[in-house]
Structure 1
Amino acid sequence: MRYKVAPPARSLDFLRTARGTIPLVPDAEADCCGAIQRSTDVPDRETAREYLTFLQALGLVAESERGYHRTREDVDREALATAYRGQVFPVAELLDAVAAGADSTEAAFRAVREEIPRWERERDPEWERRWRERVDNLLGWAVVFDLVAVEDDRFTPAQ
């Protein structure tokens, strides 16, 4: 399963802080989201929920029948980059697009546009705007994880 979550890109320190707020003993989603909000500058519960799901996609948080809990994985840039590429949709496709020359958010969006599930395109009249924003966020995280570099406002594959 690949997650379709793309909160605004932040730093590895932010991920460490947000992940550190999640208990080792499972707790309810609402409590975990509240903890993320209290420990960071995340403005609302919906955004905190996106970060909680993103932490789950990266393997830093897990969900059980009793709620969410922190895993014992290290917040290691290389391991996170691997999880990011494999667990978040459409990161692998975006990285391939950047490698093929898509050097802007718009070019990357055009490259993955057809990968976006049809049902998402049909259910939301604003889907293109939302997915452009999502692609921009995903590219931002790719920079954080050293998968993509930015030079003169252009994306390139990281060396």
Structure 2
Amino acid sequence: MKLKPVPEPPAEFAFVERAQRAVPLVPGDEDDCCARLLRRLDLPSRDVARTWLTFLRALELAEETPSGFRRTDVEPTVDGCRAALLDRVFAAAAVRDALDPAEPRTADDVFAAVRETVPGWERHKHASRWESVWRDRTADLLGWLTLLSAAGRVDDDPPRYVRR
């Protein structure tokens, strides 16, 4: 199963470790888990906390049980999170595959390459703004790919990326 929510990437991988530790060991309902994430990570909203909870599930660092959400025993590593991201997060592999190891590309270049993979229901869900939503999602995925060493950022103005 591919999961779609992707939070804005943090500045350092240690934040992912902190996020996993914020999920309870004893299963809790979504509201309790989101409240813990909000409090422990100083997130700006419950929606951002819910996105993080779902994303941690995609990275196999949290799971949903019949009793609620709980932290898994999987130790967060860059290699493990990269593999889970590419395998379990919708469009992550397509964004990575749109990168070239030798020719740096901007987020707009990458979005243009993956634009046709955006499902019709996503285009209808966001109607007139689906392109800006997916440009932002592409930029977030590029940030995650960079954080997890699947891509490299080679320029800053505008940011350009290469595949690693």
Do the structures match in fold with TM over 0.5? Answer: yes
The amino acid that maps onto 1:124 is H
TM-score (norm 1): 0.95
Deviation at 1:154, TM superposition (A): 1.3
Deviation at 1:5, TM superposition (A): 1.2
Contact 2:105 2:162 in 1 (8 A): yes
State the distance in 2 between where 1:134 and 1:14 align. 19
TM-score (norm 2): 0.92
Deviation at 1:123, TM superposition (A): 2.5
- Name the structure 1 match of 2:109: 107
- Name the structure 2 match of 1:93: 94
Count, aligned residues: 158
- Name the structure 2 match of 1:7: 7
The amino acid that maps onto 1:85 is L
5+ unaligned residues in a row in structure 2: which ranges?
none
State the distance in 1 between where 2:104 and 2:83 align. 21
User: Which range moves more in the overlay, 57-66 or 17-26?
Assistant: 17-26
CA RMSD of aligned residues (A): 1.2
**Residues 90, 4 of structure 1: alpha-carbon distance in 2 compared, 3 angstrom cutoff:** same
- The residue matched to 1:136 in structure 2 has which SS? helix
Query: Percent identity between the aligned chains?
Result: 35
5+ unaligned residues in a row in structure 1: which ranges?
none
C-alpha offsets along residues 88-115 of structure 1, whole Å, 9 cap, x if unaligned? 0101111110137561110111111111
Runs of 4+ in 1 over 6 A off after TM superposition: none
